[in-house]
Amino acid sequence: MYKIISGKDVSQAVKCRVADEIKALKDEGIEACLAVILVGDDPASRVYVNNKKKACEFCGIRSLEYVLPAETKQEELIELIEKLNADKSVNGILCQLPLPKHLDEKAVLNLIKPEKDVDAFHPENVGHIMIGDFNFLPCTPAGIMEMLRYENISLDGKNCVVIGRSNIVGKPMAMLMLKENATVTICHSRTQNLKEIVSGADVIVAAVGRPNFVTADMVKDGAVIIDVGINRMEDGKLCGDVDFEACKEKASYITPVPGGVGPMTIATLMQNTVTATKIQNSKE
């Protein structure tokens, strides 16, 4: 019998924990502040930014929002980030991706001060993740680890397969699993014998961006399935990278879409913001 890992429940627990930490900081006269930059009018990005704003309100984090037109020049965006870098009242800076194509995404992310980089995309923070000595973690992989801890799922000695090799999810996910003594395989578009590799996994993390990519014949009995994908179908409904209905009967634990990994990404952003605030105020 499978159990659904509810991202809503776990994220609520994380946000309540963050709210307590924020209250303790406020009692010492310290206010946490997150600045979010949105360039253009991408509807999905707008939804994400709104959800981040609501989470900040719940946790007691001051939220600043900078909405720039799609035609914003690189120099203008850089000027804003440099201003926020220099503002001591701002603890975290997040530039919502994707950016319009004429902007240099890499240059923008690299400009954010590492100690304010609450997305953990700066090369310095990525390097710390590689050696296991980090302050911040990318929000989605960190959220997944929180879900596993919440359900007391140990990765020690487990065979874990991550499908997808992005810098945002796949690569850091593998590093976090390695840190917990898992044996990790990363699969991608050039992987041969994919079905054979995935079917041997104790834990599957699907982050490939293809609807229902993981099918029941790729899942061994009792596997833990974490579905990172969010795909909108022709009928407007959301589905993940995992064929949920078919795979759930073989799983011991499985995350739904929506309501699984998605809420954890924002909850972990709140945790990163409070961590950044503590570091900048020498509380950690």
* Cβ–Cβ under 8 Å, residues 241 and 261: no
- 43 is written with which tokens? 């509807």
- 78 is written with which tokens? 């850089």
Strand order in the sheet with 183-187: 3-4, 251-254, 223-227, 203-206, 159-163, 183-187
For the question of residue 192 being annotated catalytic, the response is: no
The one-letter amino acid code at 62 reads R
For the question of residue 52 being annotated catalytic, the response is: yes
The one-letter amino acid code at 23 reads K
Residue of 15, 96, 158, 278 with catalytic role = 96
Residue of 15, 116, 117, 119 with catalytic role = 119
Q: Is the dihedral of CA 117, 119, 120, 121 positive or negative?
A: negative
Residue of 15, 52, 116, 278 with catalytic role = 52
Radius of gyration of the chain (CA): 19
Q: Which of 159, 146, 150, 157 is nearest to 222 (CA)?
A: 159
Q: Which of 133, 191, 143 is nearest to 169 (CA)?
A: 143
* Cβ–Cβ under 8 Å, residues 35 and 66: yes
Strands 223-227 and 203-206: parallel
Q: Is the dihedral of CA 104, 143, 26, 56 positive or negative?
A: positive
Give the Cα separation of 259 and 262 in Å (integer). 6
**186 DSSP β-pair partners:** 162
**161 DSSP β-pair partners:** 185, 204
Give the Cα separation of 140 and 207 in Å (integer). 10
For the question of residue 271 being annotated catalytic, the response is: no
Active site residues: 52, 96, 119
